[in-house]
């Protein structure tokens, strides 16, 4: 009997994103039914895709038990470099994308080196990179906005087969790749192992460095990709580009059930739901005509709920795992 109860608790605690999402749907369905029609949903997913892509990258880092605060600055630097290259060397949009991703991965590689090899705390490393990255970007752009030609902005509004907006297609591709890597490769499972305990992973013969480097570099690549997609929709990069996006990405991952303690959480459906969730809240609140000043508070309440459940989950697991010294009959 107690095992059954354990199982139920397990199912609930391991599927919090889905449950929260359902809860949100029910609330909005009652308060603002209009926010649930196809157009608004497509909008929510489209707007969620760039934060979603960054959140997928962030998930890798969070799974190892780390954090990456530098993704916002990474977006800025890599997009600004790509934009300036287009202006000055008139390269095409695809080459600009490659350049953007290259800068993003280099950014991630610096984080990876400092965390894995120099063994500096991820929070400190990425905080420093957040400031450094912003500084480098401002230096390159002389703090002026970098405008992108139509060849880029055209991509932002294009649709695959005239049906699905490209940002959503890219988002889906990123999610699929991440899922494949995390669930179906040894490296992916080892990232989970490292997040559970670095020491235990090392003892079990896992290369912790490889797992860490993969996580930070991928986080960097996905941050720059997310940045590029955002640029394709906005048309320019100003000095504040990407600022605060790191927190949206972390919030999306956490809402999606990724544990800040490392080792737990899934890209699909978790993080996807988390990213859509954040956008859906703001769209839903607008169509429900909720006072604009209340939006951040309500979004914060949901995030708080998600983090609270994460913490409960850990307490619960700790309790389950506590070693009994007596066998009670």
The DSSP symbol for 64 reads T
Q: Name the residue nearer to other proteins (CB basis): 201 or 237.
A: 201
Q: Name the residue nearer to other proteins (CB basis): 77 or 201.
A: 201
Q: Name the residue nearer to other proteins (CB basis): 160 or 320.
A: 320
- Cis omega (within 30 of 0) on the bond before 263? no
The DSSP symbol for 70 reads T
Q: Which of 79, 50, 100, 96 is nearest to 237 (CA)?
A: 79
Q: Name the residue nearer to other proteins (CB basis): 158 or 320.
A: 320
Q: Name the residue nearer to other proteins (CB basis): 15 or 147.
A: 15
Q: How many residues comprise the chain?
A: 329
d(CA 209, CA 215): 10
Q: Which residues contact 66 (CB under 8 A, 6 or more apart)?
A: 115, 122, 212, 215, 216, 262
Determine the distance from the C-alpha atom of residue 180 to the mean position of all C-alpha atoms in its chain, rounded to a whole number. Answer: 17
Q: Which of 275, 296, 249 is nearest to 74 (CA)?
A: 249
Least Å distance, CB 184 to other proteins, is 5
Least Å distance, CB 324 to other proteins, is 4
Q: Which of 192, 252, 197 is nearest to 47 (CA)?
A: 252
If phi > 0 it is left, if psi is from -120 to 50 it is alpha, else beta; for residue 205 that is: left
d(CA 170, CA 98): 15
Q: Name the residue nearer to other proteins (CB basis): 6 or 87.
A: 6
Q: Name the residue nearer to other proteins (CB basis): 289 or 326.
A: 326
Least Å distance, CB 326 to other proteins, is 4
Least Å distance, CB 121 to other proteins, is 15
Least Å distance, CB 118 to other proteins, is 20
Q: Name the residue nearer to other proteins (CB basis): 142 or 322.
A: 322
Least Å distance, CB 3 to other proteins, is 9
Q: Name the residue nearer to other proteins (CB basis): 30 or 318.
A: 318
Parallel, antiparallel, or unpaired for β 146-147 and 236-237?
A: antiparallel
Least Å distance, CB 253 to other proteins, is 16
Tokens 């070693």 belong to residue: 323
d(CA 274, CA 96): 30
d(CA 69, CA 126): 5
Least Å distance, CB 22 to other proteins, is 23
Least Å distance, CB 203 to other proteins, is 6
CA distances from 244 to 43, 70, 241, 304 (A): 21, 10, 9, 18
Q: Where do contacts with other proteins occur on this chain (CB under 8 A)?
A: 6-7, 10, 180, 184-187, 189-190, 192-193, 195-197, 200-201, 203-206, 263-264, 317, 320-329
């Amino acid at each position: 009997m107690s095992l059954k109860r354990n199982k139920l608790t397990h199912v609930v605690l391991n599927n919090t994103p889905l449950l929260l999402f359902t809860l949100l749907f029910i609330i909005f369905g009652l308060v603002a039914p209009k926010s649930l029609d196809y157009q608004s949903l497509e909008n929510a997913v489209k707007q969620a895709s760039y934060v979603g892509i960054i959140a997928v990258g962030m998930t890798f880092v969070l799974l190892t038990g780390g954090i990456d605060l530098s993704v916002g600055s990474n977006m800025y630097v890599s997009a600004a470099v790509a934009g300036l290259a287009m202006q000055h060397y008139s390269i095409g949009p695809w080459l600009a994308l490659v350049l953007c991703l290259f800068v993003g991965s280099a950014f991630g590689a610096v984080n990876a080196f400092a965390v894995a090899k120099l063994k500096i705390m991820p929070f400190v490393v990425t905080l420093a990179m957040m400031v450094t990255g912003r500084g480098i970007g401002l230096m390159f752009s002389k703090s002026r906005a970098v405008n992108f030609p139509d060849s880029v902005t055209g991509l932002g509004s294009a649709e695959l087969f005239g049906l699905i907006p490209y940002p959503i297609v890219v988002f889906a591709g990123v999610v699929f790749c991440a899922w494949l890597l995390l669930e179906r490769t040894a490296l992916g499972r080892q990232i989970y192992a490292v997040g559970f305990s670095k020491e235990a992973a090392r003892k079990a013969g896992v290369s912790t460095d490889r797992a860490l480097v993969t996580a930070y570099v991928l986080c960097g690549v996905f941050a720059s990709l997310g940045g590029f997609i955002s640029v394709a929709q906005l048309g320019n990069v100003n000095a504040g580009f990407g600022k605060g996006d790191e927190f949206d990405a972390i919030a999306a991952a956490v809402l999606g059930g990724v544990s800040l303690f490392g080792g737990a959480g899934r890209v699909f459906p978790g993080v996807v739901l988390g990213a859509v969730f954040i956008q859906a809240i703001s769209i839903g609140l607008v169509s429900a005509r909720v006072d604009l000043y209340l939006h951040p508070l309500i979004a914060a309440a949901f995030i708080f709920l998600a983090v609270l459940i994460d913490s409960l989950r850990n307490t619960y697991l700790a309790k389950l795992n506590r070693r009994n010294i007596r066998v009670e009959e």
